[in-house]
């Protein structure tokens, strides 16, 4: 059997839709790119986006800002994190998460991950108890959601606060509740590789009026917070603005203009992602060498990427596997490398944190592969990709087989 290389581009997103392009062009024609620069009788796109996203997540308040990392940093500050305080977070996450904690003057302490790629609730309980931490910045890394009922029960037992990193779970639900709605705040990213694309961008949602007033002030609202689309009542701000620094990180109207129409088509895209995810998963899940994370029925995820482990592989075999897949056009990331490559770094590479000993997570990451599923791939592309992965695996098991 001969396999032809796959030609698709794993980093290519769909173009911005025409309605979003016209909205952006209108903003540029008007010259009014700053969110507070719209005529006083006109709502800015940024404030319309805030109202629409608050509605979408069923939350009272929303703030649009410059990035997902900024959203998490500002959320921690608005929540009242004190300098030097511990913030627990998943050991398996992306670099902007510990970065946001450090930016907010907190100290990240990593919690182990399970083979299903979610935070390990036993280790979380141990660390809540041993550190006395008041904060969990929970990363729904690669779209995997932990049992949110068990998590919120555990946190309330320790009176710890939850902030969710929903960079990979915009539109996901646990039972009927949307990700980002389980704790004090949910933080989202609209960076190009996430579920809505404005190049860079972030959103924070919350039901807590005081928290959101502080977040809005921190984002650099000057005294123009009444121009926000999903903000608390004016009097909430009264006691706060004198004491809250301006950390300038507003979303501009150009980005908001292209995001608003994308929110309207988000559900349609989620369905398309899941169709593609199912195609890749169906190909891989019956191979006895491949271990897929278990996904509970309560988790309604967005399959914009897929992860799997090959538990029997050595590090050399992992390297060879990634190389052979790449030769056939299939771009896998491997979390077991000793040096960071592209977007893939691990807690070992975050030398600005106290680090930690995380043997369970390390064992998992050592054999964990990850693949993006861009919407520019068709479902049959996804079938093809899983065939190539299985082809490579078979060749590695039976190296004597002739091509
Ligand atoms: C992308 C990402 C972020 C941060 O988003 P930016 O908008 O790029 O700052 C946070 N957490 C995870 C898991 C991410 O993948």
CATH number of the structural domain spanning residue 292? 3.90.1150.10
- Whether residue 220 is predicted with pLDDT greater than 70 in this model: the reply is yes
254/321 same-domain check? no
Instruction: Indicate which atom in ligand 1 lies nearest the CA of residue 190.
Output: 7
| Domain annotation covers residue 9 | no
CA distance 321 to 83: 44
167/70 same-domain check? yes
* Percent of the chain residues topping a pLDDT of 70: 99
pTM of the model: 0.97
Indicate if ligand 1 lies below 6 Å from the C-beta of 170.
no
Indicate if ligand 1 lies below 6 Å from the C-beta of 68.
yes
- Whether residue 401 is predicted with pLDDT greater than 60 in this model: the reply is no
Residue 256 φ/ψ region, left for φ over 0, alpha for ψ in the -120 to 50 degree band, beta for the rest = alpha
- Whether residue 35 is predicted with pLDDT greater than 50 in this model: the reply is yes
Of the candidates 316, 296, 281, 295, the one whose C-alpha atom is nearest the C-alpha of residue 389 is 281
What residue has token string 């979003």?
A: 20
255/215 same-domain check? yes
342/377 same-domain check? yes
246/369 same-domain check? no
258/280 same-domain check? no
- Whether residue 103 is predicted with pLDDT greater than 90 in this model: the reply is yes
Between the CA of 170 and the centroid of ligand 1 the distance, in Å, is 12
294/312 same-domain check? yes
Q: Residue 113 in contact with residue 92, Cβ under 8 Å?
A: yes
Burial-class residue 183 by CB neighbours within 10 Å (0-12, 13-18, 19+): buried
Confidence of residue 1 (pLDDT cuts 50, 70, 90): low
- 54-63, 252-261, 330-339: segment of lowest average pLDDT: 330-339
Q: Residue 27 in contact with residue 253, Cβ under 8 Å?
A: yes
151/250 same-domain check? yes
Helical H runs in 140-297?
148-157, 209-218, 234-238, 253-264, 266-284
Indicate if ligand 1 lies below 6 Å from the C-beta of 63.
no
Instruction: Indicate which atom in ligand 1 lies nearest the CA of residue 202.
Output: 7
124/191 same-domain check? yes
Instruction: Indicate which atom in ligand 1 lies nearest the CA of residue 93.
Output: 13
CA distance 82 to 104: 8
Q: Residue 62 in contact with residue 205, Cβ under 8 Å?
A: yes
Of the candidates 323, 303, 309, 325, the one whose C-alpha atom is nearest the C-alpha of residue 372 is 303
pLDDT, greater one: 399 or 18: 18
Q: Once rounded to an integer, what is the mean pLDDT over residues 365-373?
A: 97
- Whether residue 345 is predicted with pLDDT greater than 50 in this model: the reply is yes
Residue 403: per-residue pLDDT: 46
Residue 29: per-residue pLDDT: 98
* Percent of the chain residues topping a pLDDT of 90: 93
- Whether residue 320 is predicted with pLDDT greater than 80 in this model: the reply is yes
Q: Which pLDDT tens digit goes with each residue over 157-166?
A: 999 999 999 9
Count: domains in the chain: 2
Indicate if ligand 1 lies below 6 Å from the C-beta of 168.
yes
Q: Mean pLDDT across the chain, nearest whole number?
A: 96
Pocket perturbation via mutation, ligand 1, pick of 69, 71, 345 by most ligand atoms within 8 A of CB: 69
- Whether residue 399 is predicted with pLDDT greater than 90 in this model: the reply is no
218/296 same-domain check? no
CA distance 365 to 269: 29
Rounding to the nearest 10 degrees, give the CA dihedral for residues 363, 365, 369, 373: 140
57/159 same-domain check? yes
176/74 same-domain check? yes
Question: CATH number of the domain that 182 lies in?
Answer: 3.40.640.10
Q: Once rounded to an integer, what is the mean pLDDT over residues 310-337?
A: 96
């Amino acid at each position: 059997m001969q396999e032809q290389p796959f030609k698709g581009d794993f980093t290519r997103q769909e173009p911005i839709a025409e309605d979003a392009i016209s909205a952006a062009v209108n903003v540029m024609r008007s010259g009014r790119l700053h969110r507070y620069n719209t005529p006083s009788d006109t709502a800015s796109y940024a404030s319309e986006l805030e109202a629409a996203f608050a509605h979408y997540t069923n939350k009272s308040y929303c703030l649009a800002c410059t990035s997902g990392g900024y959203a998490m940093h500002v959320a921690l500050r608005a929540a009242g994190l004190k300098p030097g305080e511990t913030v627990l977070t998943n050991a398996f996450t992306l670099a902007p998460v510990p970065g946001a904690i450090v930016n907010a003057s907190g100290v990240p302490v990593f919690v182990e991950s399970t083979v299903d790629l979610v935070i390990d609730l036993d280790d979380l309980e141990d660390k809540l108890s041993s550190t006395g931490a008041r904060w969990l910045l929970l990363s729904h890394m690669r779209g995997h959601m932990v049992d949110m009922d068990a998590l919120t029960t555990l946190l309330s037992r320790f009176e710890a606060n939850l902030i969710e990193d929903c960079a990979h779970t915009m539109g996901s639900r646990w039972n009927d509740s949307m990700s980002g709605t389980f704790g004090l705040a949910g933080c989202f990213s609209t960076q190009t590789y996430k579920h809505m694309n404005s190049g860079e961008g972030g959103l924070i949602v919350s039901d807590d009026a005081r928290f959101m007033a502080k977040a809005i002030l921190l984002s650099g609202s000057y005294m123009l917070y009444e121009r926000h689309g999903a903000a608390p009542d004016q009097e909430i701000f009264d006691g706060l603005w004198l004491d809250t620094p301006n950390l300038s990180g507003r979303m501009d109207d150009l980005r908001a203009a292209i995001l608003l129409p994308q929110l309207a088509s988000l559900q349609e895209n989620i369905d398309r992602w899941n169709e593609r995810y199912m195609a890749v998963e169906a190909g891989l899940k019956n191979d006895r060498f491949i271990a897929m994370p278990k996904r509970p029925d309560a988790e309604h995820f967005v399959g914009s990427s897929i992860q799997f482990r090959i538990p029997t592989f050595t590090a050399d075999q992992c390297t060879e596997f990634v190389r052979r897949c790449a030769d056939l056009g299939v771009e896998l990331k491997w979390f077991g490398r000793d040096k960071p490559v592209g977007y893939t770094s691990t807690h070992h590479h975050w030398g600005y944190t106290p680090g930690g000993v995380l043997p369970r997570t390390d064992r998992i990451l050592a054999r964990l592969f990850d693949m993006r599923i861009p919407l520019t791939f068709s479902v049959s592309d996804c079938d093809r990709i899983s065939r190539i992965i299985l082809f490579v695996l078979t060749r590695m098991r039976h190296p004597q087989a002739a091509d």
